[in-house]
Amino acid sequence: MTVAGRTERARETREAILDAAERLFAEHGVGEVSNRQISEAAGQANNFAVGYHFGAKADLVRAIVRRYTTETEQRRLQMLAAIADSDDLREWVSCLVRPATDHLDALGVPSWRARCLAQATTVPALRQIIIEESVATPSMRRTLEGMFRLLPGLPPEVHAERGDMSRLLAVHTLAERERALHEGGPTPRTSWGATAVGLIDALVGLWQAEVTPPDNR
């Protein structure tokens, strides 16, 4: 086999492992799935294929997140170019949400990506990896800078709290819709585009909500 052939085969193996890991993590939780199970689900005779290609489970999760952020990066950059230096908070929040919903829509049914990421966020060490990788892209940094420029009056502790709330709301809203579509159950919204509208409404309202003064808390 040529070098190019071996490279392509390794790439295909890595993709198969990532696909299998996403599905198993989504269905069972990250802690309940072994590397051996992932290798078997990916059709690999070598039970150590996951470790060979990715290393530890944390490295595998990091690769899953990077595959997701790679897919959403170009979409977000295009949106950012369109809004320039907008003073409309909703436009910045749209840049946060719509690349994700558009990407999940493009995956079709069934998909496991949103549920996989939601499961991983329940593990403290993995949650930190997801946060670090998600905000590391140029488009996400620019989006957050644009949002926060329009929210100068929020106390630091409220800013941090609402950041946590926003992340939880977005991650689990997307995961719940993905699950419902997979199971053929009812969904609050008729499409991923409509889901984006509802999530943007909620996040804008959350960030613009009144802050109770410390003396009244």
pLDDT digits (tens, 9 = 90+) for 73-107: 999 999 999 999 999 999 999 999 999 999 999 99
Same domain for 24 and 83, yes or no, is no
pLDDT at residue 3 is higher than 80: no
The DSSP line for 129-186 is HHHHHHHSSHHHHHHHHHHHHT-TTS-HHHHHHHHHHHHHHHHHHHHHHHHHHHHT--
Same domain for 110 and 18, yes or no, is no
Same domain for 93 and 44, yes or no, is no
Same domain for 122 and 65, yes or no, is yes
pLDDT at residue 72 is higher than 70: yes
Question: Which of 27, 55, 83 delimits the end of a domain?
Answer: 55
* Rounded mean pLDDT, 59-84: 96
Q: Write the pLDDT tens digit of every residue in 128-176.
A: 999 999 999 999 999 999 999 999 999 999 999 999 999 999 999 999 9
Give the residue from 61, 38, 58 showing the smallest Cα distance to 48. 38
How far is 68 from 178, CA to CA, in rounded Å? Answer: 15
What's the alpha-carbon Rg for the chain, to the nearest Å? 19
Q: Write the pLDDT tens digit of every residue in 17-35.
A: 999 999 999 999 999 999 9
How far is 169 from 175, CA to CA, in rounded Å? Answer: 10
Dihedral (CA of 198, 201, 207, 210) sign: negative
Same domain for 48 and 78, yes or no, is no
Same domain for 175 and 108, yes or no, is yes
Note if the bond before 110 is cis, omega within 30 degrees.
Answer: yes
Same domain for 68 and 14, yes or no, is no
CA distances from 193 to 86, 165, 189, 198 (A): 22, 22, 9, 9
Same domain for 163 and 78, yes or no, is yes
CB 96 within 8 A of CB 143: yes
Same domain for 120 and 27, yes or no, is no
Same domain for 50 and 69, yes or no, is no
Question: Which of 55, 71, 97 delimits the end of a domain?
Answer: 55
Q: Give the start-end residues of each E strand in the chain.
A: none
Structural domain count, the chain: 2
Indicate which CATH number applies to the domain containing 32. 1.10.10
Same domain for 186 and 205, yes or no, is yes
Q: How many other C-beta atoms can be found within 10 angstroms of the C-beta atom of residue 191?
A: 12
Show the domain range for 20.
Answer: 1-55
Give the residue from 65, 17, 8 showing the smallest Cα distance to 37. 17
Residue 49 tokens read as 């294929």
Residue 71 tokens read as 């897919």
Same domain for 45 and 152, yes or no, is no
Question: Which of 55, 83, 100 delimits the end of a domain?
Answer: 55
Q: Write the pLDDT tens digit of every residue in 176-208.
A: 999 999 999 999 999 999 999 999 999 999 999
- Region of 46 (left: φ > 0; alpha: ψ -120 to 50; beta: rest) is beta
How far is 205 from 135, CA to CA, in rounded Å? Answer: 22
Give the residue from 42, 51, 35 showing the smallest Cα distance to 13. 42
How far is 178 from 15, CA to CA, in rounded Å? Answer: 21
